[in-house]
Amino acid sequence: MSILSNRASSQSLSNALQIKTCLLQGFSSFNQLKHVHARLLRLGLDQDNYLLNLFLRRGFDFGKNTCYPRLVFNQTNQPNIYLWNTMIQGLVSADRFDDAVELYCSMRREGFLPNSFTFPFVLKACARLCDLQLGLRTHTLVVKSGFEYDVFVKTSLLSLYAKSGYLEHAHKMFDEIPERNVVSWTVMVSGYISAGRFGEAISMFRRSIETGLRPDGFNLVRVLSACTQSGDLSSAEWIDQYIMENGLGRNLFVATSLVDMYAKCGNMEKARRIFDGMPEKDVVSWSTMIQGYVLNGLAREGVDLFLQMLAEEIKPDCYALVGMFSACARLGALELGDWASNLIDRNEILSIPFLGTALIDMYAKCGNIVKAWEVFKEMKDKDLVVWNAAISGLAINGHVEAVFGLFGHMQKSAIQPNGNTFIGLLSGCAHAGLVDDGRSYLNGMSSFFSLTPSIEHYGCMVDLLARAGLLAEAHKLIESMPMKANAIVWGALLGGCRLHRDTQLAEYVLKQLIELEPWSSGNYVLLSNIYSASQKWSEAANTRSRMNELGIKKIRGCSWVEVDGVVHKFLVGDKTHPLSEEIYAKLDELDKELKAAGYVPTTDFMLFDIEEEEKEHFLRCHSEKLAIAFVLISTTSKDSIRVVKNLRVCGDCHEFIKLVSKITGREIIVRDNNRFHRFIDGLCSCKNYW
């Protein structure tokens, strides 16, 4: 009998060892796991806590389906603390935080006391659930149990308080940790970033470096993001230097974050240096650089880089295309943008709201509102941003009735408007001079939609009133605004003063503008124009002299046109274009035809009291006239002419283009820095109101 008993015992031990070996090796499939469980049941080892612990650990290796491990655990008669810990850890690792907390509470009800392996996972679950109350109770139990100096428990408490926004408590925990590791430093840096306290996050990161800690790529990316959001370029440059000195720039994600940081801080030279020095570049790196160029007003460079990316056989992603569409929108490069839209499947464009929005915006800003409308109609998922893009596109192209109709349709579709929606509506009203409608929309924001008007909305309304000649009302609105007016708001009023030649109010407005933007040439130029229009030549000259004394340069007029996919740039008085002789010859030809049609150059907005003939010469060289002449000699009579200008179209050019559209029979679309003008058969869509 003794021999048989020994043999049984030996066989049982052998079975247990075999199962242990199998469990330690792991499984390639879930079915294998179930076979081992069946073997445990058959051999009567299903209540062996040691083997069950190994089994449960393997049970959590198969994704986030935790049902099977929980079923096995629930059939255990007398689970020990190790089994409880394994279950809690497994549930937390599977992101089943509610289940982990529930199991922890069951463990406490069963009379088990947590240990140093229990607390970190329970605290992590509390942090992820933002359950600060349970976290505080657990902290109390940590102290009572004597684990408050355990480095892992302390770090978990630190994470709980940091993620819950209690950064002072987190910092106290941090200071009490005897040996801080990369996790504790990362938690503090991330906590400050999440709370928007970027300066403290950067300071904490510097301290970690000074202690000799070598940050990983995740930390570097996070802290570079903090530098970007805070605009702390000096700290960013210090981090850049640290990265280069320690050979961390080879990390693709870190290098891309550096490019993004410099681009968003406006230093494209350094962004390009980092980009060019990257040993490998993925599509994210290219997209970041392209969007950086566009963000900083370097649209042409963005287009060139996009084309270089294609030449290197890098397939553009959605973000690269958004950058390309934005660049084309700035340049008015309709053909190029249309071509770029064919680089990606049409269904993908129509299925991704932010990509479709960029395409709508590009078509609208290039003056092709028909195509913009087609994209909008075909979009499969129209979120609020898509609706706003369509409303804004219609508004800047002067289709105000369509704007109002679309807004009504948007409300019927149960899409709640936001502030950007009303900026589009008010802009449409401003372009069309619909003062009563503008007042109604501004008042309706708060009364019907519970939206608080921002400074942008007040700026639109001031622009509307000022254009309509209601300068006193516009000024009164500025004075009654709940926030201090910025340069854009005062600039809108100043534009109205120029339009209606109110030099007295303009002088007052200019003082406000100079205080806000003392180095902006536009303020001085506009006042000089107002004086010139009123034939106050000495005052105009004095204004110009003051600009010269301060070293302020007037922004040169510049226009862009696209012909056969190539964007051509013209400056005022430009003679650098290869076809300059032909362009000026075409202008001479147009001048004769226009004068025969009764055109007389409008010279009352020139800066100086000079001879009429010389004024006419300067007007003749405006960049938009050169651009139009170039397109006339380069394209067929059926093609529309699209011009983008960096400044406001002057009154003389406006009259000139109206007549050119009539005598040539060409549609001419001009987008200046304020609005669109569509000239057809001698008439403009702005109805001479801009």
Q: How far is CA 399 from CA 106, 391, 430, 478, in A?
A: 65, 9, 12, 28
Cα separation, 214 vs 26, whole angstroms: 34
Residue 471 phi/psi, 5-degree rounding, is: -65, -40
Please report the beta strands in 546-634, taking only residues with DSSP state E, as ranges in sequence order. 558-563, 566-571
Q: What is the mean pLDDT of residues 647-651?
A: 81
Q: What is the mean pLDDT of residues 647-674?
A: 88
Model confidence at 609: pLDDT above 60: no
Do residues 542 and 591 share a domain? no
Do residues 568 and 542 share a domain? no
Cα separation, 311 vs 290, whole angstroms: 15
Does 599 or 494 have the greater pLDDT score?
494
Which residues span the domain enclosing 470?
457-550
User: What is the per-residue DSSP string for 91-125?
Assistant: HHHTT-HHHHHHHHHHHHHTTPPP-TTHHHHHHHH
Do residues 539 and 620 share a domain? no
Q: Tell me whether residue 143 is in a domain.
A: no
Q: Tell me whether residue 666 is in a domain.
A: yes
Do residues 583 and 671 share a domain? yes
State the burial class of residue 346 (Cβ atoms within 10 Å of its Cβ: 0-12, 13-18, 19+): exposed
User: What is the per-residue DSSP string for 303-341?
Assistant: HHHHHHHHHTTPPP-HHHHHHHHHHHHHHT-HHHHHHHH
Residue 24 confidence class, pLDDT cut points 50, 70, 90:
low
HSE, side-chain direction, 13 A CA sphere, residue 429: 26
For helices 455-467 and 487-500, what crossing angle results, to 10°?
Answer: 0
How long a stretch of residues is the chain? Answer: 690
**In the block, which residue shows the tokens 């304020």?**
674
Q: In this predicted structure, which of 74-88, 161-175, 541-555, 586-600 has the lowest mean pLDDT? A: 541-555
The pair of three-digit structure tokens given for residue 236, joined into one six-digit string: 């960013």
Cα separation, 403 vs 408, whole angstroms: 9
Q: How far is CA 632 from CA 585, 598, 643, in A?
A: 12, 21, 12
Cα separation, 377 vs 172, whole angstroms: 56
pLDDT at 611: 41
Do residues 518 and 567 share a domain? no
Q: Tell me whether residue 522 is in a domain.
A: yes
- Per residue in 350-367, pLDDT tens? 999 999 999 999 999 988
For helices 353-365 and 369-378, what crossing angle results, to 10°?
Answer: 160
Q: Tell me whether residue 498 is in a domain.
A: yes
Total domains in the fold of the chain: 2
Q: Residue 422: how many CB atoms within 10 A of its CB? A: 24
Q: Tell me whether residue 395 is in a domain.
A: no
Q: In three state form, how does the secondary structure of 332-346 look? A: CCHHHHHHHHCCCCH
Q: What is the mean pLDDT of residues 50-69?
A: 73
Cα separation, 223 vs 205, whole angstroms: 7
Do residues 584 and 530 share a domain? no
Average pLDDT of the residues of the chain: 85
Residue 676 phi/psi, 5-degree rounding, is: -95, 145
Q: What is the mean pLDDT of residues 241-259?
A: 85
Q: Is 605 helix (H, G, I), strand (E, B) or coil?
A: coil
- Per residue in 211-234, pLDDT tens? 877 887 778 888 888 888 888 888
Do residues 580 and 667 share a domain? yes
The pair of three-digit structure tokens given for residue 253, joined into one six-digit string: 């994600």
Please report the beta strands in 434-557, taking only residues with DSSP state E, as ranges in sequence order. none
The CATH number of whichever domain residue 461 belongs to comes to 1.25.40.10
- Contact of 114 with 82, CB cutoff 8 Å: no
The pair of three-digit structure tokens given for residue 592, joined into one six-digit string: 């004769």
- Per residue in 112-131, pLDDT tens? 889 989 999 999 999 888 88
Edge-first strand order for the sheet with 676-680 is: 566-571, 558-563, 641-645, 668-671, 676-680, 683-684
Do residues 501 and 546 share a domain? yes
- Per residue in 536-562, pLDDT tens? 888 888 888 888 888 877 777 889 999
Q: Which of 505, 524, 550 is the last residue of a domain?
A: 550
For helices 487-500 and 471-480, what crossing angle results, to 10°?
Answer: 170
Cα separation, 402 vs 183, whole angstroms: 56
For the chain, report the end-to-end CA distance as a whole number of angstroms: 110
Residue 339 phi/psi, 5-degree rounding, is: -65, -45
Q: How far is CA 513 from CA 516, 525, 532, 537, in A?
A: 5, 12, 20, 22
Cα separation, 630 vs 632, whole angstroms: 5
Model confidence at 616: pLDDT above 80: no
- 311 Rama sector, left if φ>0, alpha if ψ -120 to 50, beta otherwise: alpha
Cα separation, 238 vs 235, whole angstroms: 5
- Per residue in 179-217, pLDDT tens? 788 888 888 888 888 888 888 888 888 888 888 778 877
Cα separation, 160 vs 170, whole angstroms: 8
Question: What are the respective helix, strand and coil percentages of the chain, to the nearest 5?
Answer: 70, 5, 30
pLDDT at 184: 85
pLDDT at 612: 40
Q: What angle do CA 67, 73, 78 make, to 5 degrees?
A: 165
- Per residue in 432-473, pLDDT tens? 889 999 999 999 999 999 999 999 999 999 999 998 999 999
Cα separation, 471 vs 498, whole angstroms: 11
Q: Tell me whether residue 439 is in a domain.
A: no
The pair of three-digit structure tokens given for residue 680, joined into one six-digit string: 């057809």
The pair of three-digit structure tokens given for residue 598, joined into one six-digit string: 């009764």
Q: Tell me whether residue 301 is in a domain.
A: no
Residue 8 confidence class, pLDDT cut points 50, 70, 90:
very low
Do residues 572 and 541 share a domain? no
State the burial class of residue 387 (Cβ atoms within 10 Å of its Cβ: 0-12, 13-18, 19+): buried
Q: Which of 529, 550, 571 is the last residue of a domain?
A: 550
Do residues 542 and 567 share a domain? no
Q: What percent of the chain has pLDDT over 70?
A: 89
- Contact of 430 with 460, CB cutoff 8 Å: yes
Q: Which of 496, 519, 550 is the last residue of a domain?
A: 550
Do residues 506 and 463 share a domain? yes
Q: What is the mean pLDDT of residues 44-57?
A: 73
Q: What angle do CA 54, 55, 60 make, to 5 degrees?
A: 100
Q: Identify the H or E element spanning 509.
A: helix 503-516
- Per residue in 361-416, pLDDT tens? 999 998 899 999 999 999 988 999 999 999 999 998 888 999 999 999 999 988 99
Do residues 646 and 589 share a domain? yes
Q: Tell me whether residue 4 is in a domain.
A: no
pLDDT at 608: 38
